[in-house]
Every structure is written in C-alpha cells, then in structure tokens.
Amino acid sequence: SSSSSPSLLDRKEDAVLLSSQEDDGTNGSSGRSLSVTRPMMGVLVVALSAFVGMGAATAFLAMGITVQKRDATQQLNQHAQEVRNQIESAWKDYEVAGLWVQESSRRESITR
C-alpha cells in the first residue's frame, strides 16, 4: 500500500455510517445505509447553524415588531386622551364665557 492513498481504516474513520438495517434471517442483511463524510458533516453543521440563526433572528424580529406595535398603540391612546382633555377644557371655557355674556346682558336689561 502506498502512503499517498488512504487505507481502508482511514476511510472508515472519515465516514460516519448511519444505517437502518433489517435482518432477514440469512447470512446477509438487507437495508439501506447512508454514508456522510467529514466535509459533508461540516456543511451540515454550517447549514444547521444558519437555520438556527435565522430562527433566532426571526424570533427577535417578531418580538421587536410586537413591542413596537404595543408602544405605538399606547402612544396613540395617550395622545388621543390629551387631545380629548384639551377639547373638554376648551368647551368648558366656552360654556363659562357664554354664561358670562348671558349674565352680563341680563343684568344690563334689568337695570334699564
């Protein structure tokens, strides 16, 4: 065997065998086996990491959007309440001014 070609033992170390085999009662076995090499495992790890990262980013984005919507709704409600209070205050001032005008014109008509 030459030193440049990998031996059978080296090839077995470089492969992870994932198999589901069924024994049919004979000397052999029937079934399927899937061989995943180390470079493929690296790609799988990278793909899994990217998938988990995208999931985490999506979760943070969804959480941020939900919080932002809640804050926007709260600010809108607070602003609407302030506008409502200002309108009520202006209406009360208008009523008081109208009553003053009515009272002053009634007093003038009585004294004449």
The C-alpha R_g of the chain, in whole angstroms, comes to 41
Residues 64-79: what's their mean pLDDT? 97
User: Residues 34-58: pLDDT tens digits?
Assistant: 666 878 888 999 999 999 999 999 9
Percent of the chain with pLDDT over 70: 62
Report how far residue 112's alpha carbon sits from residue 104's, in angstroms, rounded to the nearest whole number: 13
Read off the pTM: 0.46
Report how far residue 30's alpha carbon sits from residue 19's, in angstroms, rounded to the nearest whole number: 11
